[in-house]
Amino acid sequence: MKVVINADACTGQGRCFGIAPELFDFDDLGNGVVKGDGNVTPELAEKARLAEANCPEHAISIEE
């Protein structure tokens, strides 16, 4: 399981790194970036799902 941010859709709403700081960080402009390779451990799966479900721009996807 892996999280991906579509950088073209991200506008820096800030929900992903608020909900799952283990998986997401922000850049200088406040846009979301995936930490590391984006792989999600089982204990973070729910947070990854919530990050996806809360992004107003639909910029996050989860690849199984």
Partner 1 sequence: MSHTKPLVEDFATDFDHADPQWVSNPYPIWEDLRTRCPVAHTDRYGGAWFPATHELVSRVAKDTENFTSRSVVMSNLRPTDEDLPAPIGIAPPITSDPPFHAIARRLVLPAFSPGVVNALEPQIRALCNSLLDDMGDAAVVNGGTQFAQYIPVGVIQQMLGFPLEDIEMFLQIVIDVLDSIDSTAEDRQATADKNRAYFEKQIQDHVDNPRDDFTSYLLNAEIAGGKLELDHVIGTMVLTLVAGIDTTWSAISSSLWHLAQNPDDLARLVNEPELMDVAVEEFLRFYAPVTMARLVAKDHDFNGCPMKKDDWVLLGFPAANRDPEVFEDADKFIIDRRENRHVAFGLGIHRCAGSNLARLELKVAIQEFIKRYPTFTLENPSEVTFSPGQVRGARNLPILVK
14 near partner 1, judged by CB under 8 A: yes
Min separation Cβ 13 and partner 1, Å = 6
Residue ranges of alpha helices (H) inside 1-64 are: 15-19, 45-54
CB 22 within 8 A of CB 40: no
54 near partner 1, judged by CB under 8 A: yes
Min separation Cβ 35 and partner 1, Å = 14
Binding site for partner 1 (CB under 8 A): 11-15, 17-19, 26-30, 50, 53-58
